[in-house]
Amino acid sequence: MDTHATRRSLLARAAALAAVPAIGSVVADTALGSPAIAADATDLPDYAPVPRSSLGPAINSQGYYVGRIKRNLYWVTDGTYVSAFLTTRDGVVLLDAPPSLGHNIQRAIDDVTKPNGLTNKVTHLIYSHHHSDHAGGSGIFGRRVTRIGHSETRRLLIRDNDPNKPAPEETFDDHRVLHIGGERIELAWHGANHTPDNIYIHLPDHDTLMLVDVALPG
Ligand SMILES: [Zn+2]
C-alpha cells in the first residue's frame, strides 16, 4: 500500500488539512482586495504567483466551507483553520475543534448529516495536539463527548487548565486503533515534531492522513 502514489495522495491530503497561517493572510488580503498590495506588486522582485489552489475554497456568509474528503469523511475550514469529521451510524467523530470555527463546526456537521438522515451528535473528539488554536473550541461540545489524545496532550491540557479545551480522558502513548460506529481510525505518535504531543491521525479506509501544523514542501 506504500506506493509513491499513495504517499503523494496522503501528503496532499495532509497538506490540505494543515493550518498554514500564511495562506490565511493571503486569503484575507485577497478578500479585501487590498489596493496597496496590488499597486506595489509590480515593484516586487521576481516571485511565483500564489497558486489558485492555495487560496482555498470560498467560505459562506456564516464564515465556513464544508467539503467531502472521501465518503463519510469531511473537512471544514474558515479560510485559515481546518477541522475534519467522520460521520458514523453511532455519532460524529470530530478531529480537532479550532475556536475560530467554533459553532460553525456543528453547523457544518448539520449541513452534511441532516439531508442524509444521519445523527449530527458529536460523540468523540480527537485532539491532534494541545494548542489552543486547534483545541480551544472543544468546550462547546460539553461533557458528554469522549475526548481522545496523546498522553502528553492530556498532561499539557491539565497543566493549561482551560475549560475551553478539556483534557482527553482516553489516551495512548505510541499507537491506538479506534473502532467507532463501524469506522477505523488509527492514531500514532512518531516523536516530537511541531510539539511534543502532535500525532498522526490516519483513516486507512478513507486514504487520508491528518497531520496538523507541519508543512511538507514538495
Ligand atoms: Zn500547534
Q: What is the pLDDT of residues 196-206, one digit of tens each?
A: 999 999 999 99
CA of 129 to the centre of ligand 1 (A): 7
Residue 150 has pLDDT above 90, yes or no: yes
Q: What is the pLDDT of residue 181?
A: 96
Amino acid in the structure at residue 96:
D
Distance CA(97)–CA(127), nearest Å, equals 8
The verdict on residue 173 lying in a domain is yes
Tens of pLDDT along 91-137?
A: 999 999 999 999 999 999 999 999 999 999 999 999 999 999 999 99
Q: What is the pLDDT of residue 82?
A: 96
CA of 117 to the centre of ligand 1 (A): 35
SS3 109: helix
Q: Which of 70, 68, 64, 59 is nearest to 104 (CA)?
A: 64
CA of 134 to the centre of ligand 1 (A): 7
The verdict on residue 34 lying in a domain is no
**Please, are residues 10 and 41 in contact by the beta-carbon 8 Å criterion?**
no
CA of 5 to the centre of ligand 1 (A): 28
The verdict on residue 44 lying in a domain is no
Pairwise pLDDT comparison (183 vs 32), residue with the higher score: 183
Question: Which pairs count as long-range contacts for 74-78, CB under 8 Å and 24+ apart, including other chains?
Answer: 74/108, 74/112, 75/16, 75/17, 76/101, 76/104, 76/105, 76/108, 77/101, 78/104
Residue 26 has pLDDT above 80, yes or no: no
CA of 128 to the centre of ligand 1 (A): 9
The verdict on residue 33 lying in a domain is no
CA of 157 to the centre of ligand 1 (A): 13
CA of 163 to the centre of ligand 1 (A): 18
The verdict on residue 193 lying in a domain is yes
**Please, are residues 208 and 73 in contact by the beta-carbon 8 Å criterion?**
yes
- Return mean pLDDT, the chain: 85
Distance CA(16)–CA(201), nearest Å, equals 14
CA of 132 to the centre of ligand 1 (A): 8
Distance CA(73)–CA(169), nearest Å, equals 24
Q: How many domains does the chain have?
A: 1
Residue 195 has pLDDT above 70, yes or no: yes
Range of the domain at 81: 4-19+57-210
Distance CA(20)–CA(50), nearest Å, equals 14
DSSP 209: E
Average pLDDT over residues 37-57: 75
Q: What is the pLDDT of residue 36?
A: 44
CA of 29 to the centre of ligand 1 (A): 23
The verdict on residue 192 lying in a domain is yes
The verdict on residue 52 lying in a domain is no
- CATH number of the domain encompassing residue 157: 3.60.15.10
Amino acid in the structure at residue 203:
L
CA of 58 to the centre of ligand 1 (A): 24
Tens of pLDDT along 58-91?
A: 999 999 999 999 999 999 999 999 999 999 999 9
Work out the pLDDT band at 27, boundaries 50, 70, 90: very low
Distance CA(164)–CA(147), nearest Å, equals 13
CA of 130 to the centre of ligand 1 (A): 7
